[in-house]
Structures are given as structure tokens and as C-alpha cells.
């Protein structure tokens, strides 16, 4: 069967009632026939039928053996890091999600786990960064927000030769486009909040493993630490996954049209989208994915925070907000939002310039989205040519024209 058909018919019909929608088992505990004798469940932190259905579904989607659902994507990342111990080292992609960077640097570093950030698009760089203490290689592909592409097969060979784990954050691609475990990865992590949920109405995280033994270690940590996904959000996530392939197909088609438009606009400096033939990772992305996703990033000719602020606060259909992967199009400014926690120099080294803007292309008509971008960019270009983008709050060009969010996402 094709993937969409297989997905839809892998969601079980309730054996008790015949309900085609998975029941929400909204309970904290389960009656036991005798101490330790039950119908498969005893306490909802340890296991819940609705959550179990979700976990089995995601494991199947990723071609894995075991999946564990968590209360957020960062809780899922946290569970993977708890597989390590003091003295271990991680090699991580340099263009990393700001929340993961914060967790690595401000939480786990003090426990003696160190991280070396490198350009994982070059396997030789990854190989040269290995030490006897390296236990985990952490990649995003595509990365957030510059959409770099890492060759999963090549990095997997390096990880296996060194006897360390390869973990892939597959949030941007989703299993509708890419299945890292089938390409040699050991662990896949998702922010289920994004494409898996797809409707901007839940927070969730998932870890999937290829090896059943490793999966059971993650399940132990899920129960021991307790950052589980509740039954209602598990049900919402199942409902979102039912339309995953259909949504991602449309996201990808519209994103490609948006990227092609941005490439030719005079106000745009550079477009980051792996579906473009000009993208340096295009051929690798095409070889390991079924499509190129719904995220497009770009930088402006006027590379200032002020210019970026002007753009992200002027669009009509693209709403300024955190997150991505929902049916409504979103726009964000990584330097002040998702990646604010990363030091400015490190951001710029990774390609996150002051004017870099990230678009999550939704399910609106692509022509309408392009017209929204065209109108906003035309106004920005007119202001730039007339010198009307003046100084910011403190009298310096390039400083924000309004206070940035205080909370680092």
C-alpha cells in the first residue's frame, strides 16, 4: 500500500465499540484484578491506551521499533540526553535550534556533558571532530533556520564506525518526507507540535528508536522523569497525523513557489530552500527525502534587525509567531525569537544573519501568499531606496524599532 493508505488504516478501530476514532482514555489510574495483575495498564504516567496508540503509530511512520511521546519537543530532546553520562561528548550541527542549544549549554554542560558544534554538511568535519568521548552525533536536516542538509547515510557510517549514536531531529521534514532510521540513524526526535500535529493547537514531543533495547531505555526515562503527553493531546496528535501526507504535500508545493518568487525579488539577498537547484544540499535532499518541506528562509539586502522588524510586522497573511508547521502561514525573526538564546557571533557564523527571516508556508493558496510577500517586500524596497529605514530606538541603524520578546523560546 502507499504510505497515505497504510497510515490511515493503521489507526485501529476501537475493539470494544467499533469507534473509528481512537477513544480518549482520560483517566489517571486503572483498576487491578490483584496487586500487579491488570489489563495492561496500571497508572497513566507509565502507560495510557490513547498514548500507546499514538506511539505505535509514530514508530510505524518512522520505520522504528519503539516510540515515546513527551509533553514537548524539548522534553523529548531531554530524554535523549539522559541516555548519556558525565564526561560524554556530543557532536552537534552548528545551525542548531535555539532551544536545543540552551538545553545543551545551560543545563547539561554543568553535568559534565560537552558539545562540539560543527558543520555537519561536511562528513569529513564530523569525522575529524570525533574523540574517544564522543557518544552522540546530533543533527537536524533540514536545519532550523538556514535549512542546511546533512547526508544521513554518510554520518550514520561514521557514527557506527565510532560506536556512537546518531540522533536526527526530523521535525522540519516529518516522516511524510524523510525516514532517518531507514537511512541508518539510531534515534529520531520530533517536535510533534509542528507538522505531526499540524494545526497549532498542541505541544508534544516524540522519540523513536531503531533498536528495541535502546527504545526501552527511553521508555524507562519517560516513566522515571514523567514528562509524558496527556491523553487528550495524544488524541489531537493522532487526528493531526491522519492528514499528514496530504498537508505536507501542499506545504511543500506552495513553499517551492514562494522560494522561487523570493529568489527574483530585488529586496531579497539570499533564499534558503533545499528544493531550489541553487541550494548546496539540493541533490542530497533529493536522494534522502520525498520532498523539500514547507519552510523557507531568506535574508534581506538591507541586513539589519530594523529591516527585518519592518518586514515581519507588515505582512498580512503571514502571522508573526513562534512555531511552524500549522495550516496558517507564520513568519518569524530567528535572531530575536527562536535563536535569541544563541550568542550573536555564533549565530552569524552559522548563517543566521540579522535580517534572516523564516517562513512557515501554510495551506492558503500559494498565489495569495506570494502577493502578500510581494506587497511587503515592495514597500520595504521602496523605503530602502529612499533611505527611509532610519535609526532604531537608541538612535543606531539596525537596532529594533520595538522591544523584542523577553522570553527565550
Report pLDDT digits (tens) over 41-88. Answer: 999 999 999 999 999 999 999 999 999 999 999 999 999 999 999 999
Whether residue 403 lies inside any domain: the answer is no
In this structure, the answer to whether residues 44 and 148 fall within a common structural domain is: yes
Give the HSE-up count for residue 149: Cα atoms under 13 Å, Cβ half-sphere. 24
β-bridge pairing 295-300 and 114-118: unpaired
For 19-51, how does the pLDDT look when each residue is reduced to its tens digit (9 = 90+)? 999 999 999 999 999 999 999 999 999 999 999
Whether omega for the bond prior to residue 142 falls within 30 degrees of 0, making it cis, is yes
Q: 268 pLDDT exceeds 90?
A: yes
Among 192, 201, 224, residue whose Cα is nearest residue 70: 192
Contact 374, 265 (CB under 8 A): yes
Q: What is the mean pLDDT of residues 290-308?
A: 96
Among candidate residues 224, 241, 258, the one where a domain is terminated:
241
Neighbours of 161 (CB within 10 A): 10
Please give the share of the chain, as a percent, with pLDDT higher than 70: 95
d(CA 153, CA 298): 28
DSSP for residue 23: P
In this structure, the answer to whether residues 217 and 294 fall within a common structural domain is: no
Grid cell for residue 245: 501526507
Q: What per-residue string of b and e applies to 63-74 under the rule 16 or more CB within 10 Å gives b? A: ebbbbbbbbbbb
- In the chain, count H helices and then E strands: 13, 12
pLDDT classification of 400: cutoffs 50, 70, 90: very low
Q: Supply the pLDDT for residue 404.
A: 41
In this structure, the answer to whether residues 166 and 250 fall within a common structural domain is: no
Whether residue 391 lies inside any domain: the answer is no
Domain of 89: which CATH number?
3.40.640.10
In this structure, the answer to whether residues 219 and 255 fall within a common structural domain is: no
d(CA 334, CA 299): 11
In this structure, the answer to whether residues 31 and 113 fall within a common structural domain is: yes
Whether residue 139 lies inside any domain: the answer is yes
d(CA 62, CA 406): 36
Among candidate residues 216, 241, 266, the one where a domain is terminated:
241
Domain of 280: which CATH number?
3.90.1150.10
pLDDT classification of 287: cutoffs 50, 70, 90: very high
Indicate if the alpha-carbon torsion angle 257, 251, 285, 79 is positive or negative: positive
Q: What is the mean pLDDT of residues 374-394?
A: 77
Q: Supply the pLDDT for residue 397.
A: 37
Please give the share of the chain, as a percent, with pLDDT higher than 90: 86
Q: Supply the pLDDT for residue 395.
A: 34
For 12-23, how does the pLDDT look when each residue is reduced to its tens digit (9 = 90+)? 999 889 999 999
Instruction: Report the DSSP beta bridge partners of residue 166.
Output: 137
Whether residue 396 lies inside any domain: the answer is no
In this structure, the answer to whether residues 255 and 235 fall within a common structural domain is: no
In this structure, the answer to whether residues 349 and 373 fall within a common structural domain is: yes
Q: How many domains does the chain divide into?
A: 2
Q: Supply the pLDDT for residue 380.
A: 92
In this structure, the answer to whether residues 266 and 338 fall within a common structural domain is: yes
pLDDT classification of 389: cutoffs 50, 70, 90: confident
d(CA 159, CA 405): 38
Whether residue 169 lies inside any domain: the answer is yes
For 316-373, how does the pLDDT look when each residue is reduced to its tens digit (9 = 90+)? 999 999 999 999 999 999 999 988 878 888 888 888 899 999 999 999 999 999 999 9
pLDDT classification of 396: cutoffs 50, 70, 90: very low
First CA to last CA across the chain, in angstroms? 40
Neighbours of 405 (CB within 10 A): 11
List the catalytic residues.
Answer: 45, 97, 169, 194
Residue 140's alpha-carbon distances to 91, 178, 222, 288, in angstroms, are 12, 12, 22, 13
Q: 204 pLDDT exceeds 60?
A: yes
Whether residue 397 lies inside any domain: the answer is no
pTM higher than 0.85: yes
Mean residue pLDDT across the chain: 93
For 104-118, how does the pLDDT look when each residue is reduced to its tens digit (9 = 90+)? 999 999 999 999 999
Whether residue 399 lies inside any domain: the answer is no
Contact 41, 30 (CB under 8 A): yes
In this structure, the answer to whether residues 160 and 55 fall within a common structural domain is: yes
Among candidate residues 241, 266, 286, the one where a domain is terminated:
241
In this structure, the answer to whether residues 162 and 258 fall within a common structural domain is: no
In this structure, the answer to whether residues 52 and 99 fall within a common structural domain is: yes
Residue range of the domain that includes 222: 3-241
For 174-198, how does the pLDDT look when each residue is reduced to its tens digit (9 = 90+)? 999 999 999 999 999 999 999 999 9
In this structure, the answer to whether residues 185 and 296 fall within a common structural domain is: no
Q: Supply the pLDDT for residue 388.
A: 80
Amino acid at each position: 500500500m502507499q504510505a497515505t493508505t497504510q497510515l490511515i488504516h493503521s489507526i485501529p478501530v476501537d475493539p470494544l465499540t467499533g469507534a473509528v476514532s481512537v477513544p480518549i482514555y482520560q483517566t489517571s489510574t486503572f483498576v487491578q484484578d490483584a496487586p500487579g495483575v491488570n489489563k495492561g495498564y496500571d497508572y497513566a504516567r507509565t502507560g495510557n491506551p490513547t498514548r500507546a496508540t499514538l506511539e505505535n503509530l509514530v514508530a510505524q511512520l518512522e520505520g522504528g521499533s519503539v516510540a515515546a511521546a513527551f509533553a514537548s519537543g524539548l522534553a523529548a530532546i531531554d530524554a535523549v540526553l539522559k541516555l548519556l553520562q558525565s564526561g560524554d561528548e556530543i557532536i552537534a550541527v552548528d545551525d542548531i535550534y535555539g532551544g536545543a542549544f540552551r538545553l545543551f549549554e545551560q543545563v547539561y554542560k554543568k553535568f559534565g556533558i560537552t558539545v562540539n558544534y560543527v558543520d555537519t554538511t561536511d562528513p569529513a568535519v564530523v569525522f575529524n571532530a570525533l574523540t574517544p568521548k564522543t557518544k552522540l552525533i546530533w543533527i537536524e536536516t533540514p536545519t532550523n533556520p538556514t535549512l542546511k542538509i546533512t547526508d544521513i547515510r554518510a554520518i550514520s557510517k561514521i557514527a557506527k564506525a565510532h560506536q556512537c549514536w546518531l540522533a536526527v531531529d526530523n521535525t522540519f521534514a516529518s516522516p511524510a518526507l524523510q525516514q532517518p532510521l531507514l537511512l541508518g540513524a539510531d534515534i529520531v526526535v520530533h517536535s510533534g507540535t509542528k507538522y505531526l500535529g499540524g494545526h497549532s493547537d498542541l505541544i508534544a514531543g516524540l522519540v523513536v528508536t531503531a533498536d528495541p533495547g535502546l527504545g526501552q531505555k527511553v521508555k524507562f526515562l519517560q516513566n522515571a522523569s514523567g514528562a509524558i503527553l496527556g491523553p487528550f493531546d495524544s488524541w489531537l496528535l493522532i487526528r493531526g497525523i491522519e492528514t499528514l501526507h496530504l498537508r505536507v504535500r501542499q506545504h511543500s508545493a506552495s513553499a517551492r513557489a514562494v522560494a522561487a518568487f523570493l529568489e527574483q525579488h530585488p529586496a531579497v539577498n539570499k533564499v534558503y530552500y533545499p528544493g531550489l537547484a541553487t541550494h548546496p544540499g539540493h541533490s542530497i535532499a533529493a536522494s534522502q527525502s520525498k520532498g523539500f518541506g514547507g519552510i523557507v528562509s531568506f535574508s534581506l539586502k538591507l541586513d539589519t534587525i530594523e529591516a527585518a522588524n519592518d518586514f515581519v510586522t507588515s505582512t498580512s497573511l503571514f502571522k508573526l509567531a513562534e512555531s511552524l508547521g500549522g495550516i496558517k502561514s507564520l513568519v518569524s525573526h530567528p535572531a530575536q525569537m527562536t535563536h535569541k538564546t544563541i550568542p550573536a557571533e555564533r549565530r552569524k557564523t552559522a548563517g543566521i544573519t540579522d535580517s534572516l527571516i523564516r517562513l512557515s508556508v501554510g495551506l492558503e493558496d500559494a498565489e495569495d501568499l506570494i502577493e502578500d510577500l510581494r506587497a511587503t517586500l515592495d514597500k520595504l524596497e521602496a523605503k530602502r531606496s529612499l533611505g527611509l529605514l532610519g535609526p532604531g530606538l537608541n538612535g543606531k541603524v539596525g537596532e529594533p524599532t520595538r522591544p523584542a520578546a523577553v522570553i527565550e523560546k
